[in-house]
Amino acid sequence: MRPTVKDVAKLANVSTATVSNVLTSKKYVSEELKLKIKEAMTTLGYEPNISARSLKVNKTFKIGVVVPDITNPFFSEIVKYIEKTINKSYYQLVLYNSDDKAEKEKKILDSLMLGIVDGLILVAPRLEETLLKRDYDFPVVILDRPAFDTASDITFIYADNFKGAVMIANLFLKKGYKKYICITGPEDVPNANLRLLGFRQALLNNGIKQENIEEYRAEFNFDACYSIMTELLQDYDPTQRKAVFVCSDIGAWGAIEAAKSKGLKIPRDIGIAGFDNIYFSRFIYPGLTTVENPTKELGQTAALVLLNKLNDDPDFSDHTVVLDVNLIQRESV
């Protein structure tokens, strides 16, 4: 049988309250007793029972993390850094995968409302705002999605998608491309819209005419972007000097393959840029020029903010954190 606080108390000749006090260090206990109690703990191999503590203090010591797809390197990197931070604390990371389905996301949220976690990190939720806006009775951090609800005390943390897109546009201009294509994601993905917006804005601001900007939408995956790209390249003439901003790295991979299979040389005949800078993008050929989405900062600050909220540290009250992005220049532009 595992030793309990009672066993420790008996061995150290004190009351269980005193043992608990050294455990929680909320009340002063003389050094003498403290020592004796700690000694008793080690000889018995005592470890507090989390369930009992949970019940009493009404905490679960669990943090829920909901990602659309743990298989997506962008998300798995975020989770990695969330994990690193959470597991330094007393909390445990409980993982949920929504399969990028709004419906499944909703089910997970429903179940999480029942007090089975103390806090929640929602990564790139696809649920519409009204369904996301709930009466949470625990702190919530939403990652990689622009803030929509300034009234609630949800914290929003996301990279500056608009700026990233601007950077790509500026690079295209600097490199002397003449026509500009944006292949962005579904309309219900706010970041997809922001990237498109930033890209268009920057081009217009630099005197590019709207007729030289083409805009398309495709799911953020290889195949969708591959096929839309092959279509666009139907009878492409390299002297047109087009540059394509595909709003996700994996989509850019598809675009690159489509261009390569048309016999085009990148970046000479056509420029292609991505967004996210997933780990594997450094390995493909030609090296993908992209915008770094700061997974480390995203994951880390999400976890830190949440942990601070859980310890109701006033430093981290409700707010929005916008992280800066970096342009990663490789060979594809």
Partner DNA sequence: TGGCCTTAGTTACACGATTAACTAGTAATA
Partner DNA sequence: TATTACTAGTTAATCGTGTAACTAAGGCCA
Contact between 174 and DNA by CB under 7 A: the answer reads: no
The size of the chain, in residues, is 333
Q: Is the peptide bond before 139 cis (omega within 30 degrees of 0)?
A: no
Q: Is 56 or 174 the residue whose CB approaches DNA more closely?
A: 56
Which residues lie across from 273 on neighbouring strands?
A: 245, 289
Q: Which stretch binds DNA (CB under 7 A): 50-58, 123-131, 243-251, 286-294?
A: 50-58
Nearest to 32 by CA among 14, 6, 16: 14
Site pattern 65..84 for a second copy (x: CB under 8 A): x---xxx-x--xx-xx--xx
Burial class (CB in 10 A: 0-12, 13-18, 19+), 230: middle
Q: Determine if 116 is a binding residue for DNA (CB under 7 A).
A: no
Based on the number of CB atoms within 10 Å of its own CB, is 70 exposed (0-12), middle (13-18) or buried (19 or more)? Answer: middle
268 is a contact residue toward DNA (CB under 7 A): no
- Which one among 24, 227, 261, 317 touches DNA, defined by CB under 7 A? 24
Q: Of the two residues 51 and 240, which places its CB atom closer to DNA in the complex?
A: 51
Of positions 10, 11, 15, 324, contacts DNA by CB under 7 A: 15
Instruction: Name the residue among 320, 316, 304, 300 with its Cα closest to residue 79.
Output: 300
Contact call for residue 220 and a second copy (CB under 8 A): no
Site string for a second copy, 91-120 (x = CB under 8 A): -xxxxxx----------------xxx----
CB of 246 to a second copy, least distance (A): 13
Which residue of 156, 180, 220, 222 would you call a contact of a second copy, by CB under 8 A?
Answer: 222
Binding of residue 135 to a second copy (CB under 8 A): no
How many residues make contact with DNA (CB under 7 A)? Answer: 33
Q: Specify whether the CB–CB gap between 206 and 178 falls below 8 A.
A: no
> How are the residues of the chain apportioned to helix, strand and coil, as percentages rounded to the nearest 5?
45, 15, 35
Q: Computed over its alpha carbons, how large is the radius of gyration of the chain? A: 26
Total site size for a second copy, rule CB under 8 A: 43
Among 7, 219, 257, 297, binds a second copy (CB under 8 A): 257
DSSP 146-170: ----SSS--EEEEE-HHHHHHHHHH
What residues have CB less than 8 Å from 276, skipping those under 6 apart? 74, 248, 249, 250, 290, 291, 292, 293
Is 113 near DNA (CB under 7 A)? Answer: no
* Shortest distance, position 289 Cβ to DNA, whole Å: 53
Question: Which chain residues interact with a second copy by CB under 8 A?
Answer: 2, 47, 49-52, 54-55, 58, 60, 62, 65, 69-71, 73, 76-77, 79-80, 83-84, 87, 92-97, 114-116, 222, 250, 253-254, 257, 260, 279-280, 283-285
